[in-house]
Structure 1
Amino acid sequence: MKTDHKKEIATYTARRGEFAVVEVPALQFLMIDGHGDPNTSTAYQDALTTIYPVAYALKFLSKGELGRDYAVMPLEGVWWSADMAAFTTARDKSRWSWTMLIMVPDWITPDHLDTARTTVTRKGGAPALDALRLERFDEGLSVQTLHVGSYDDEAPVLEEMHHRFIPGHGLRMTGKHHEIYLSDARRTPPERRRTILRQPVARADG
Structure 2
Amino acid sequence: MLRASATATLPELLLRPWRDDDADALIAAYRDPVLRRWTRAPVTTVAEARRFLAAAHRDWADGTRFSFAVIEPHPAGETLVAQVIVKNVTRGGGDAEVGYWTAAPARGRGVAPHALTAVTEWAFDRFAGLRRLDLLHQIDNPASCRVAEKAGYLFQEVLPARPPFPRDGHRHARWARPARECPPGPGR
- Please report the TM-score for the alignment, with normalisation by the length of structure 2: 0.24
Higher helix share: 1
Choose between structure 1 and 2 for higher RCO, CA contacts under 8 A separated by at least 6 residues: 1
- The alignment's TM-score, normalised by the length of structure 1, stands at 0.22
